[in-house]
Amino acid sequence: MKLNIEMKKRDRDVIDVRPVKEEPTPEQRQHACYVKQPIVDTTDSGRSITIGKAYRREAKFEKIKGLGDEQLKALRFYRATFDQSEASEVKSALDIRPFGGGGMAAQEVWSERQASARMRLAGLERGIGAVAHTLREVALHDVTFSDLAIKRYGSREVSKIITGKGRQKPRIVNEIVPKSGKHREAIRAEFFLAVNRLVGNVRPYISTGE
């Protein structure tokens, strides 16, 4: 049975800081962890070159306990493929720097790369089944198990006592949590099932170096 699940867009993981030394805003840092890393591009000859540095949003799945090295490699490859498939055609066309994305020839190369990434993404999700929805939400859009459980099964409000520091008095904080702890565990189980299936789909691409 063919799944018809709408793929939603996510903000790109990379914030380009080459023109101006910009950093993620305080609001962005509240929602994600950013790490400054080199930007590596590949020339037509296949040689890797470093073209600058950028703040990269660290995927939340990196901190999920229980994931092994092979599972993390598969998730990183999956997320990178998704970002390639969602690359901005307008941004690429307006890039008129040397070796940039502007020009008809570069546009054709860009279109081919994006089409290839979309085909690869479909291949990575083949056979994963209904749990592909959970995989996308967590791996591509950084939705937590708890938030997805709330979205699917509903929520409840609980009160927690936060101990004050020094002479500060304890305070009561209301928090929205899944209706049942079993709902969060069900989401977690779906995610790990999907990841295990993803590993098998990613393995041929990694072994061939695509």
User: Greatest CA separation found in the chain?
Assistant: 67
115/54 same-domain check: no
Q: What is the rounded average pLDDT for all residues in the chain?
A: 78
70/172 same-domain check: yes
73/34 same-domain check: no
Residue 94, pLDDT above cutoff 50: no
C-alpha–C-alpha distance, residues 160 and 9, integer Å: 35
Residue of 112 and 204 predicted with greater confidence: 204
Residue of 122 and 56 predicted with greater confidence: 122
Burial label for 49, CB within 10 Å (0-12, 13-18, 19+), is: exposed
Q: pLDDT band for position 93 (50/70/90)? A: very low
Tokens found for residue 176: 């929205």
Q: Residue 105: what residue type?
A: A
Within the chain, strands assigned E span 14-16, 33-42, 48-58, 155-162, 171-178
54/16 same-domain check: yes
Residue of 164 and 92 predicted with greater confidence: 164
53/74 same-domain check: no
Sort strands 171-178 and 14-16 into parallel, antiparallel or unpaired.
unpaired
C-alpha–C-alpha distance, residues 8 and 43, integer Å: 30
Tokens found for residue 195: 């990841």
Residue 155, pLDDT above cutoff 80: yes
87/101 same-domain check: yes
List, in order, residues 6 or more apart from 78 with CB less than 8 Å away: 121, 124, 135, 139, 140, 198, 202
Domain that holds residue 98: 59-208
Q: pLDDT band for position 79 (50/70/90)? A: very high
Chain centre distance of CA 62: 10
63/53 same-domain check: no
Asked if 202 and 124 touch (Cβ cutoff 8 Å), the reply is: yes
Please indicate, yes or no, if residue 4 is contained in any of the structural domains: no
Residue 193, pLDDT above cutoff 80: yes
Please indicate, yes or no, if residue 3 is contained in any of the structural domains: no
Tokens found for residue 27: 């609001």
Q: What is the pLDDT of residues 100-147, one digit of tens each?
A: 444 555 566 667 778 888 999 999 999 999 999 999 999 999 999 999
List, in order, residues 6 or more apart from 128 with CB less than 8 Å away: 135, 194, 197, 198, 201
127/46 same-domain check: no
Q: Quick one: what percent of the chain has pLDDT higher than 70?
A: 60
Look up the pTM and report it: 0.68
C-alpha–C-alpha distance, residues 163 and 176, integer Å: 19
Q: Which helix (H) or strand (E) holds 55?
A: strand 48-58
C-alpha–C-alpha distance, residues 140 and 198, integer Å: 13
Please indicate, yes or no, if residue 85 is contained in any of the structural domains: yes
Task: Look at the chain and report how many structural domains it folds into.
Answer: 2
Residue 187, pLDDT above cutoff 90: yes
